[in-house]
Homo-oligomer: A and B are copies of this chain.
Amino acid sequence: MALVLNEEQQLLRDTAMQFFQERAPIAQLRKLRDSKDATGFDRALWREMANLGFAGILISEKYGGTDFGPIGLGVVLEQAGRTLAASPLVSTVLLGGSAIQLAGNATQRQEYLPAIAAGECLLALALEEGPHHNPTHITTKAEAEGSNFRISGEKVFVLDGHVADYLIVAARTSGKENDRNGITLFLLDAKTKGITITRSHMVDSRNAASITFDNVEAGNAQVLGSVDGGSDVLDQVLDIGRIGLAAEMLGLVQEAFDKTVEYLKERKQFGVPIGSFQALKHRAAVMFAEIEICRSVVLDALTALEERRNDVPLMASLAKARLAETARLVTNECLQMHGGMGMTDQFDIGLFMKRARVAAVTLGSADYHRDRYASLDGF
């Protein structure tokens, strides 16, 4: 168990910290938001991130990646979380890239992984069909037609769906609505005929899309993994996504908390800094404790991934649930402690709260993961 970073990882953290603070500060998110940027993130910045190796962090050197591994990725995501940096890290690296790594055949790997690592290919996972995460509730149909398939259905909350070059679509090839078996993943060019993509504007100023598939044709070569066996891949991919999101949320809560502690020291009321009021002190100390606990959870979840431990699913649910709860507590408390100023768009704390809520429900809310944890743990 490695709950501390090694030297290489520390170096990566320092690089990432400097990069996000200088190149992708919160001001950048505001700029994207206020200019109603069509992409929703900065493509040039994404190329810079790729140049630093962030895009290929989970990809082996053979395919042009840096292979820093999950802990390395977590380190980068935590720093991205601190500045609320918008990027395709979740959609393309955590989800799309992992799916191709795990399930892609030699051809698919060769075709996509180097492009991903180079920051030249954007992916999106078209999974959800309702307002709550539910990876086995798949009604989008892929009907076999000779050696081809015809895909029809509707997906929502597809992260970066409106800019992705390729979509990974979870569709049902057999079984009933909620069966774990019978789900197949397809890797489609986003421009394929019959695909209609509508961008959604989320409260965190990031991207998601609703996508309809109307009799979209897919060949055998576009199946990712095995027919009907998509859930095994999805489970692993989603756990990577969940742990990565937890790492991002760790950075987010840490930064929101640090900003608030500073504010408590500066802001005066009744002639003294508000941080001298014991009630606020205790609440701040409780938050500190929760964040320290979260840090350990995230580090261990990343380590579980890195060491391919068999408790990855358990740790993914623990990390996602714990971070969602702590992010809610911390952002609510921090907003309240900022008083009226926290309610203004001018202050950053509201942005942290908005991102915290979206990240919390992405790939499963705290409720979802507590339930899953209990099931995985056998009770």
A contact residues vs B (CB 8 Å cutoff) = 277-279, 281-282
Contacts and interface: CB of A to CB of B under 8 A. Distances in A.
Contacts of A279: 278-279, 281-282
Contacts of A281: 279
Contacts of A278: 277-279
A281 B277 CA distance: 11
Contacts of A277: 278
Which of A277, A279, A281 has the most chain B CB atoms inside 10 A of its CB?
Answer: A279
6 contacts: A277-B278, A278-B278, A278-B279, A279-B279, A279-B281, A279-B282
A64 B277 CA distance: 60
A283 to B, nearest CB: 8
Contacts of A282: 279
A279 to B, nearest CB: 4
A282 B281 CA distance: 12
Nearest to A285: B279
A277 B277 CA distance: 9
Task: Give the 3 A-B CB pairs with smallest separation, nearest first.
Answer: A278-B278, A279-B282, A278-B279
Nearest to A280: B278
A277 B282 CA distance: 11
A173 to B, nearest CB: 36
A288 to B, nearest CB: 15
